[in-house]
Structure 1
Amino acid sequence: VSTIIKWFPDKRGLATGLAIMGFGFAAMLTGPVAQQLMASVGLEQTFYLLGIFYFVIMLLAAQFIVRPNLALSSTTENSISQKKGTRLTRGPELTANQALKNKSFTFLWIMFFINITCGIGLVSAASPMAQSMTGMSVQTAAIMVG
C-alpha cells in the first residue's frame, strides 16, 4: 500500500482505497474455495493449502513492486515529477514515537480496535445467521459474506 501511495501522490486516498478493495475481493473469492476445500480435505489441510498458495502468489507479485523513483531513474524520461502530499491537519507534525505517546492517538487506536473487532465479529456470524434465518446454502452464504 505504501508503494502505491508513492506512485500516485496526488490521488493517495483513491490508490489506498483500490488497494484495500483487493483484500475484500480476495475474501469474496476465497470464501467459496475455502468452503469447498474444508468439505473435501478438512480444516487443517485447507489452511496449509491456502497458506502455500498465498505464499507463492505473494512471492511472484512482490517481484513487480518497484518504487517510483527507482523506476523513473531507470528510464530515459525523468520528466515526471511527484507532487508533495497535502497536509490534512493543523496541529504539529509528530514523529512516530511522539504520536505513540499522544493521548489522541491512543483514543483513535482504541476506537479503531473496537470498530474492527465488532466488524470482524459481525462478518464471522453473518454466514451462519444467513443460513439459519433465510435458509441460504453454505455457498450462497459464503458469497454473501464476501
Structure 2
Amino acid sequence: MIGMDQTSVAFPPHVSETREIVRAAMRKFLVDSSEFFSISREQHIVAARREVALRLKDRGYSLARIGRILARHRSTVKVYLSDDMRSAKQARYIAKSGRVVRIKPQYFEGLQRLAELTGTSIEAIVNQAVSDTLEAS
C-alpha cells in the first residue's frame, strides 16, 4: 500500500475483537504483553493464553489461526483446549494461588462495571479491598 496514508486504513472488526479478548485475559490474569507472548510456562501466563484460546475457539477460529495469534503451534492450542488438561491444571493453579473468591451474584455485576470503568480486573479490586481491610484492623 505504497503512498496510502496509514491513518486511513480501517482494521476489520475481528482484529479489534481479537485484541480486546487478549487484553481482557491479560488484565484478568495480571500478565503484561511481554509475558503473554514469551516462552514462559508459568501457570498464570498459561492460564491467560488458555482463556484466549477458548474464547477464540468459541468464535469459530481454527487451531492454526489461534496459534498464530498466540504465537504458538496449533498442537499447543489443541492442548490448551483439552478439557482434561484445562480442568486439572486450572484446579491446581487455583489451589496454589488462592485466586478463587466466591462473589454473591448481586455484587458481581457492580464489581464487573467497576472493573470496566477503572480498567482493572475484579481480582485486583477484591485484593485491594482485602488489603485495605487487613491494614485497617
The question of a shared fold, defined as TM-score above 0.5 by the shorter chain, is answered with no
Query: Which structure ranks higher in relative contact order (CA pairs < 8 Å, sequence separation ≥ 6)?
Result: 1
TM-score by length of 1: 0.23
